[in-house]
């Protein structure tokens, strides 16, 4: 049975807690650089997440083969793709931070998203975008368009700027700087609310195990 999303608001007004159980946020960096500001802000997320929210960093972006629709079948899907899609299926939300290359989305990130298009794992998944270079607006706009087409549940606003401005930061410095940590913490809290609402309303087409919803 699927409950209407309005039930969440009713529960909040009545003081009834959100659906219980830990939430899993999958963090996906669009950069393959070893010293990437986009990866750094995602690495800070576990320390800034609300209680009961577990952030897992996806490490297999470079291992995904080039997308080929001929291979995107139940019997032909490459092992790395199967692992990636299973992680997305098991996640309650997705947090993406991506650079911009030549006014576009990095090919490695777009390739990963292409591997998700045909599956049931992605529709209605809450998604938020972090942008460490606020002047880089083209890639973010392209990502928003792609994610909307894939039926993501984007936060409002979908993109949050993290004012790194090319400055070098250590992980400890980022977590302790309120101008950087504050926006990340706020996005994670909003993802938590969206994910619990989605879980309560039964919007996802797969269960936490990755199996299709029956009914």
pLDDT category, 207, cuts 50, 70, 90? low
Sorted by where each starts, the structural domains of the chain and their CATH numbers stand as: 20-201 (3.40.50.360)
Res 79: pLDDT: 97
Q: How does DSSP classify residue 120?
A: S
pLDDT category, 167, cuts 50, 70, 90? confident
pLDDT of residue 13 exceeding 70: no
Q: Is the peptide bond before 157 cis (omega within 30 degrees of 0)?
A: yes
Model confidence over 80-122: pLDDT tens digits? Answer: 999 999 999 999 999 999 999 999 999 999 999 999 999 999 9
Res 180: pLDDT: 95
Residue 96 makes CB contacts below 8 A (sequence gap 6+) with 27, 28, 29, 30, 109, 127, 128, 129, 130, 143
Res 53: pLDDT: 97
């Amino acid at each position: 049975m699927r409950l209407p999303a309005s039930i969440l608001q009713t529960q909040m007004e009545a003081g009834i807690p959100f659906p219980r159980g830990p939430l899993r946020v999958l963090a996906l960096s669009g950069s393959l650089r070893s010293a990437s500001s986009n990866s750094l802000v995602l690495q800070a997320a576990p320390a800034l997440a609300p209680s009961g929210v577990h952030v897992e960093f996806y490490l297999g972006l470079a291992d995904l083969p080039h997308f080929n629709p001929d291979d995107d079948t139940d019997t032909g899907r490459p092992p790395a793709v199967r692992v990636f899609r299973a992680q997305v299926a098991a996640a309650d939300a997705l947090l993406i931070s991506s650079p911009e290359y030549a006014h576009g989305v990095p090919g490695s990130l777009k390739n990963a998203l292409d591997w998700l298009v045909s599956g049931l794992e992605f529709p209605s998944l809450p998604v938020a975008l972090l942008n460490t270079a606020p002047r880089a607006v083209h890639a973010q706009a392209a990502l928003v368009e792609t994610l909307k087409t894939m039926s993501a549940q984007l936060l409002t606003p979908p993109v949050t700027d993290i004012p790194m401005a090319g400055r070098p930061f250590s992980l400890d410095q980022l977590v302790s700087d309120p101008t950087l940590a504050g926006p990340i913490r706020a996005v994670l809290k909003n993802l938590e609310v969206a994910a619990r609402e989605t879980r309560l309303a039964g919007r996802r087409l797969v269960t936490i195990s990755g199996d299709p919803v029956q009914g």
